[in-house]
Amino acid sequence: MLKAIKLKNIAIFASGRGSNFAAILEQIQRGNIPAQIRCIISDYTHPPVFDIAGKAGISTHWVNRKQFDSRDDYTIFLLSLLEKYKVDLVILAGYLKLIPMPIVKRYKNSMINIHPALLPNFCGKGFYGIKVHEAVIESGVKITGVTVHFVDEHYDTGPIIIQEKVEVLPDDIPETLAKRVLKIEHKVYPEVVKAFCDGRLEVVDRKVLWRE
């Protein structure tokens, strides 16, 4: 008798259109990732990602620091949401706020983010979206890419899970480069989520090992 696979519960933090969320959701719906997305949390009242979630029947929550009297209250509320949904994995998909420290600690090596460059380059506070690609082109580098990493206490400094290169073409503008990088994001992010949910990722001394 086959043993039933326990699905991982996922929470998505997103601020915008949610294309990476959509790519992950598609692979879950196809049965390729043993998980279920329990909720979407955003710091905006109704970002485009909520429309995707609504069509899939996924709960959405607007949670902004300004709604709360203190940062502690804000953090406690976020933690309570994640506990309510019994979340195993937190995925940042274009989320622009720094996650409160107690949540980062609670989900150490269970919270992942994607960055549209090869870390540790073109990263840190203020480096997101098209701003990253503008900086890449201005620098004159020939290779950029995608990095998926675990989240730690700072912007873009957690253990790197996977990186994939993207060539910077001589006639690239930020928008054309962004389009090619995003295509790679949609490929590698679901791969990482699947590996996590399959129990194939292990962190040893800040190095991420992929097990067969």
Which one, of 152, 168, 171, 169, lies nearest residue 160 by Cα?
152
Reported as a single tens digit per residue, the pLDDT across 74-87 is 999 999 999 999 99
**What amino acid positions are annotated as catalytic residues?**
115
Fold of 8-207: Rossmann fold (3.40.50)
Q: 122-131: long-range contacts (C-beta < 8 A, 24 or more apart)?
A: 123/155, 123/156, 123/157, 124/155, 124/156, 125/155, 127/155, 127/156, 128/94, 128/96, 129/94, 129/178, 130/174, 130/175, 130/178
Cβ atoms of 187 and 20 within 8 Å: the answer is no
List the domain boundaries for the chain: 8-207
Q: Is the pLDDT of residue 2 over 50?
A: no
What's the pLDDT tens digit per position in 163-196? 999 999 999 999 999 999 999 999 999 999 999 9
Longest dimension (CA), the chain: 59
Out of 33-37, 63-67, 128-132, pick the least confident: 128-132
